[in-house]
Amino acid sequence: MKPLSRCLLLLFIPPLLSVCSEQPIFSSRAHVFQIDPNTKKNWVPTSKHAVTVSYFFDSTRNVYRIISLEGSKAIINSTITPNMTFTKTSQKFGQWADSRANTVYGLGFSSESHLSKFAEKFAEFKEAARLAKERSQEKTELTSTPSQESAPGDLQSPLTSESINGTDEDRVTPNTPKHSKARAEPSQNALPFSHSSSSINKHWEAELAALKGNNAKLTAALLESTANVKQWKQQLGAYQEEAERLHKRVTELECVSGQTTAIKSQKTELNKTIEELELALKAKEEELERLKAEVESANEFRFQKDTLTQKLKVSNTLERL
């Protein structure tokens, strides 16, 4: 986009009204994020890809700003104040809070060196903003006449081609004749714009066509995202059903495991009882063997008794004879 077209485009973006008179003094590329306004915790990406993030110095207002554009959209427009602090939260990510914009900006860099350089520039321009604020306060205290107090009104004057190009006339003090002449000639300075209105209209028609094309692409992407969300919901439902089934299975296995533990305990007790019975049986068998031995001894004694009795009878019979 040409510088003049860029300036004309920024006429319709009030926060960037003075960017045409500013020049970038340091630029880097990073992914841009903003803090989620609802949760105040999560980061929301505001750029699809890495974009150029630049420091600008507005010599008219003597302020430093951080500005980043994605196409015609301003995704960062932050004025650096002495109260701001840029914090490195990781090796490649840094953030700062902007109370005027009521948000927190985050930048993701491709390397640690880029982050360090950006942080150094932030501290440098923050200190410059502090000094500029002090000088402005001193100047305000020293110059308190009505003519000098009306000087800020120059910032509200119509934007002309000279102010777009950043001429020195816009920075002349109110008490000089040049200032009066500049305030008296806004219509003459605006003549080049009237002569080039047709080219401006063509430019805006092209911009409008591009915006319509982008809108169509965004609509198609939204429809695709909606379809993907439905598909993801179906998959999530299937995953939840599978999770419930697995949970039930785990519960069943835990019950079986509990029963197995009880069975193992009973088995251990039964094995112990069997061992006790086997010991008792062995003892009984030993007792039975002992009794058998005693019976055999008794039978032998009985046989010997019968033999002796028979011999005694025979001896008695022989004696009688």
Contacts 24+ apart (CB under 8 A), 79-83: 80/122, 80/125, 80/126, 80/129, 81/126, 81/129, 82/126, 82/129, 82/130, 82/133
Q: CA nearest 180: which of 215, 207, 153?
A: 153
Position 168: which residue type? D
Print burial letters for 237-260: b (CB count within 10 Å at least 16), e (below 16).
eeeeeeeeeeeeeeeeeeeeeeee
Q: Is 170 helix (H, G, I), strand (E, B) or coil?
A: helix
Q: What is the pLDDT of residue 321?
A: 73
Residue with tokens 């002309």: 160
Q: What is the pLDDT of residue 186?
A: 38
At 144, the pLDDT band (50, 70, 90 cuts) reads low
Counting residues of the chain whose pLDDT is more than 70, the rounded percentage is 74
Torsion angle of C-alpha atoms 235, 236, 242, 243, degrees rounded to 10: 160
pLDDT tens-digit readout, 264-298: 888 888 888 898 888 988 888 888 888 888 888 88
Q: CA nearest 168: which of 187, 156, 181, 150?
A: 181
Radius of gyration of the chain (CA): 51
Residues 6+ apart with CB under 8 A from 43: 33, 34, 35, 36, 106
Q: What is the pLDDT of residue 142?
A: 72
pLDDT tens-digit readout, 27-70: 999 999 999 888 888 899 998 889 999 999 888 888 899 999 98
Q: CA nearest 190: which of 218, 227, 171, 162?
A: 162
Position 290: which residue type? R
Q: Running DSSP on this structure, what letter comes out for residue 172?
A: S
Q: CA nearest 139: which of 99, 179, 183, 174?
A: 174
Counting residues of the chain whose pLDDT is more than 90, the rounded percentage is 22
Asked whether the beta carbons of 60 and 155 are under 8 A apart, the reply is yes
Q: Running DSSP on this structure, what letter comes out for residue 48?
A: S
pLDDT at 159 over 60: no
Asked whether the beta carbons of 83 and 126 are under 8 A apart, the reply is no
pLDDT at 224 over 60: yes
